[in-house]
């Protein structure tokens, strides 16, 4: 990036170092990915110079000759990819998209029901430290202690007793298929709006590797940067009935001008997601996660729910004699990037919990397929065992092996300079 390098070598150097870090690491953070060069280019385009408060044809600024068609294309593609009646592509990110759902349907103090954070839910589904838990009355459902899966009987009982105005399904650490029809039936019975937050699995839904909430949920929110492999942003999909309420909630309810460079990049990502190779990609993500989960189980790892249906694996390390945080830190030093995570009914503190969360979206983009997953499990195992014994020697060897492997799997948008 010559301009950046000349203008600001400090930042340019750090960006370059980050590119190399992403190139050399086995990136297993379940919410991350590598976007295509086309998505990167749109994100870094001159659209960042533009203001366009409002919606196409109804803007508060002039000069929308190019922005309007961009936003309309993004909306059309979002509706086509997901089969939705309405799409709003302006939310700045996942948390503001979720807040817009509250703005559209609730008044302060109204009851909202969501999966509790330590069980895999998201902060914005009514957790106490979030505005959504402070400004609304949260009702939390859990997973079952024996299966690790959402307890649908509890969801129904709570919904009928507490009569939430809004029910969230979906979350940040759910390794299993979400039963949208069952949630929809409960929401109907309870007279609640059903919102599906599919941030994690949007790419799987687009690629046909996870059932869709469309036709079941009243509103669907998603980030665009996880399995969907777009820029950092979000979308809200809904039935035509709720279109006006959603649009008004996003602007002028919560936001000012949309990030037009992001809108363009979302449109590009959605065009990519409509191609047959994206469907192959989505299925490969799940295939990789299933083989990795089986290989970890073979090595004695205790997986929440016993496995996975999607891109995500949640390991409970309790039987391995090491906590999530030191294990995650050792794995990072060994070139395996993931995050420590609470497991359901975790006796440890949120900042030092018992689990690790793994996702296969980014390594699948790099081109790794099932044949490598037993090796990935073996590396994880070696490093976790070394972390339990506080041994560092293994860490450096594994980091070298991973660098060597990844040199054969190109990173979209960046390559090391030839030696």
Span of 145-153, 195-203, 239-247, 281-289 interacting with ligand PLP by CB under 6 A: 195-203
Coil, strand or helix: which one is 147? coil
Minimum distance from residue 187 beta carbon to ligand PLP (Å): 18
Closest to ligand PLP by CB, 113 vs 199, is: 199
**The dihedral sign for the CA sequence 386, 33, 149, 95:** positive
Provide the CB-side half-sphere exposure for 136 (13 A, CA): 28
Query: Is 197 a binder of ligand PLP (CB under 6 A)?
Result: yes
User: Please, which residues have CB within 8 angstroms of residue 358's CB and are 6 or more apart in sequence?
Assistant: 28, 30, 289, 292, 312, 313, 314, 315, 338, 380
Q: Any known ligand binding at 270? A: no
> Is residue 252 reached through a cis peptide bond, with omega within 30 degrees of 0 on the bond before it?
yes
Minimum distance from residue 199 beta carbon to ligand PLP (Å): 4
Closest to ligand PLP by CB, 227 vs 364, is: 227
Residue whose Cβ sits closest to ligand PLP = 94
Q: How far apart are CA 203 and CA 311, in angstroms?
A: 10
Instruction: Tell me the C-alpha to C-alpha distance, in Å, between residue 283 and each of 171, 203, 273, 371.
Output: 20, 10, 13, 15
Span of 71-79, 126-134, 165-173, 295-303 interacting with ligand PLP by CB under 6 A: 165-173
Residues 96-135 contacting ligand PLP, CB under 6 A: 98, 122, 124
Q: Give the pairing type, strands 166-169 and 193-197.
A: parallel
Task: Indicate which single residue of 66, 93, 297, 375 sits in contact with ligand PLP (rule: CB under 6 A).
Answer: 93
Q: What is the dihedral of CA 289, 325, 33, 17, to 10 degrees?
A: -140
232 is a catalytic site residue? yes
Q: How far apart are CA 114 and CA 174, in angstroms?
A: 13
197 is a catalytic site residue? yes
Q: How far apart are CA 77 and CA 402, in angstroms?
A: 37
Largest CA distance in the chain: 66
Q: Any known ligand binding at 189? A: no
Q: How far apart are CA 38 and CA 231, in angstroms?
A: 10
Closest to ligand PLP by CB, 170 vs 335, is: 170
Binding pattern for the stretch 166-185 against ligand PLP, x by CB under 6 A and - elsewhere: ----xxx-------------
Binding pattern for the stretch 231-250 against ligand PLP, x by CB under 6 A and - elsewhere: --------------------
Q: How far apart are CA 138 and CA 41, in angstroms?
A: 41
Minimum distance from residue 305 beta carbon to ligand PLP (Å): 17
> Which among 71, 197, 218, 346 is annotated as catalytic?
197
Q: What is the DSSP letter of 314?
A: E
281 is a catalytic site residue? no
Q: Any known ligand binding at 241? A: yes
Q: How far apart are CA 42 and CA 270, in angstroms?
A: 13
Count residues contacting ligand PLP (CB under 6 A)? 14
Q: How far apart are CA 315 and CA 295, in angstroms?
A: 12
Quickly tell me which residue has 């817009």 as its tokens. 100
> Which among 16, 53, 110, 370 is annotated as catalytic?
53
Closest to ligand PLP by CB, 133 vs 171, is: 171
Hey, what are 89's tokens?
A: 């592509």
Quickly tell me which residue has 């929308």 as its tokens. 64
Span of 47-55, 89-97, 272-280, 319-327 interacting with ligand PLP by CB under 6 A: 89-97
> Which among 43, 222, 223, 224 is annotated as catalytic?
223
Closest to ligand PLP by CB, 94 vs 335, is: 94
Quickly tell me which residue has 């969230």 as its tokens. 168
226 is a catalytic site residue? yes
Closest to ligand PLP by CB, 30 vs 373, is: 30
Residue numbers annotated as active site:
51, 53, 197, 223, 226, 232
Residue numbers in the known binding site for (6S)-5,6,7,8-tetrahydrofolate are 117, 121-123, 241
Binding site for ligand PLP (CB under 6 A): 31, 93-95, 98, 122, 124, 170-172, 197, 199-200, 223
């Amino acid at each position: 990036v010559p301009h950046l390098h000349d203008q600001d070598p400090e930042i340019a150097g750090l960006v370059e170092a980050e590119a190399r870090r992403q190139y050399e690491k086995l990136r297993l953070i379940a919410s991350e990915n590598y976007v295509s060069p086309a998505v990167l280019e749109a994100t870094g385009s001159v659209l960042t110079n533009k203001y366009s408060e409002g919606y196409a044809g109804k803007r508060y600024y002039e000069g929308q000759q190019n922005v309007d068609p961009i936003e309309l294309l993004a909306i059309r593609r979002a509706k086509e990819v997901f089969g939705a009646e309405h799409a709003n592509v302006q939310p700045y990110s996942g948390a503001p998209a979720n807040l817009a759902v509250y703005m559209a349907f609730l008044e302060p103090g109204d009851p909202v029901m969501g999966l509790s954070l330590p069980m895999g839910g998201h902060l914005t589904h009514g957790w106490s430290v979030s505005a959504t838990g402070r400004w609304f009355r949260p009702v939390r459902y859990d997973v079952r202690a024996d299966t690790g899966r959402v307890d649908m009987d509890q969801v129904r009982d709570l919904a009928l007793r507490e009569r939430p105005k809004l029910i969230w399904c979906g979350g940040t650490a759910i390794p299993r298929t979400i039963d949208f029809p069952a949630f929809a039936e409960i929401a109907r019975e309870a007279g609640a709006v059903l919102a599906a937050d599919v941030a994690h699995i949007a790419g799987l839904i687009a690629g046909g590797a996870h059932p869709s909430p469309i036709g079941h949920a009243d509103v669907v929110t998603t980030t665009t940067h996880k399995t969907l492999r777009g820029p950092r942003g979000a979308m809200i999909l809904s039935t035509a009935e709720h279109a006006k309420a959603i649009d008004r909630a996003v602007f002028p309810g919560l936001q000012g001008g949309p990030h037009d460079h992001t809108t363009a990049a979302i449109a590009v990502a959605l065009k990519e997601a409509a191609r047959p190779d994206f469907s192959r990609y989505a299925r490969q993500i799940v295939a990789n996660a299933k083989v990795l989960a089986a290989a970890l189980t073979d090595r004695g790892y205790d997986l929440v729910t016993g496995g996975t249906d999607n891109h995500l694996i949640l390991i409970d390390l309790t039987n391995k004699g090491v906590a999530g945080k030191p294990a995650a830190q050792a794995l990072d030093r060994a070139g395996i990037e993931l995050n420590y995570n609470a497991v359901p009914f975790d006796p440890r503190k949120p900042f030092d919990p018992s689990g690790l969360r793994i996702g296969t979206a980014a390594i699948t983009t790099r081109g790794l397929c099932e044949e490598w997953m037993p090796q990935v499990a073996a590396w994880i195992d070696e490093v976790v065992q070394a972390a339990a014994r506080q041994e560092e020697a293994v860490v450096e060897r594994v980091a070298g092996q991973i660098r060597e492997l990844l040199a054969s799997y190109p990173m979209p948008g960046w390559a090391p300079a030839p030696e």
